[in-house]
Amino acid sequence: MGSSLYIYEMKKLLYLIGSLLFLSNCSNEELKKYQLPEITPSQILVTALNDSRKMITDNDKSSKTTLFKIQFHGQSIVKGIKEKRIKQTLADAVPVINFEIINTARSGLQVPQLLPLMAEDIYPQHADVLFFHAYGGTETGELEQFFKNLKTRFTGEVIIFNHHLSYPEDKKHNKKLTDLEDKTSIEMEKLAVKYSFGFIDLRSEWHKFLELNKQVAPQDLLRDGIHPNDDGKLLLEHILMTHFIAAIQTSEE
């Protein structure tokens, strides 16, 4: 029992050190003005990235540089993720890998509209890892069908992340949207678990960030009440990449 507790505490310490090192190496200075939450990847994420971890481990033992392809897909929130910035972040953290980053997100299309485009947008890319987020289809079945298709036809590993915190000015609209996004974020996690995909609880991390930085209002991270502004994009990328890097550097028990 004592040994297990020691191992758990050591892993937490390593995650914290890794997160701090990741931030200190961040080429963009803007996030350094904030206090960032400690990030620990979930076991489901660690397990889902077993092939990626093995690829990186095998590359450490080889003289050749492995090409590792990461695809981001979804709608406008994902479209705002900057490939060049992601590539630099990963290159700093895992220099033994040659990362290729592509973003195939389609602004304005929710899951029901993205579903029939999977054969065009996702499968031909043959990415090693797919990050996916989009709105819609949770209650009407299209999101689960999207996940089923990924499970049967996509050959790489999948990471699902849920909704950040939107904050429209209209109080009535704000509450209605918040309640809906709270509910659908939970459903996204349930489906990710069902299909054995990796999952990042972006919504929870976003709330933690706001709790740590009381001087920051939710709308300060948004440009229109929905879409992240420059700082919001940096926070989104930081959360995703810190989870991913920690997960691929963690041995699965």
Residue 28: what pLDDT?
A: 58
* Model pLDDT for residues 84-106, shown as the tens digit of each residue: 999 999 999 998 899 999 999 99
Q: Extract the residue ranges of the chain whose pLDDT is less than 50.
A: 1, 5-8, 10-27
Where b means 16+ CB within 10 Å and e means fewer, 212-247 reads ebeebebbebbeeeebbeebbbbbbbbbbbbbbbbb
CA distances (Å), origin 54, targets 64, 91, 94, 251: 15, 18, 13, 10
> Domains plus CATH for the chain?
2-248 (3.40.50.1110)
Amino acid 30: pLDDT: 82
pLDDT in tens, 66-86: 799 999 999 999 999 999 999
- Tokens describing residue 158: 């999948």
Beta strands in the chain (DSSP E): 66-74, 97-103, 129-133, 157-161, 198-200
Confidence at residue 66, expressed as pLDDT on a 0 to 100 scale: 79
pTM confidence score: 0.88
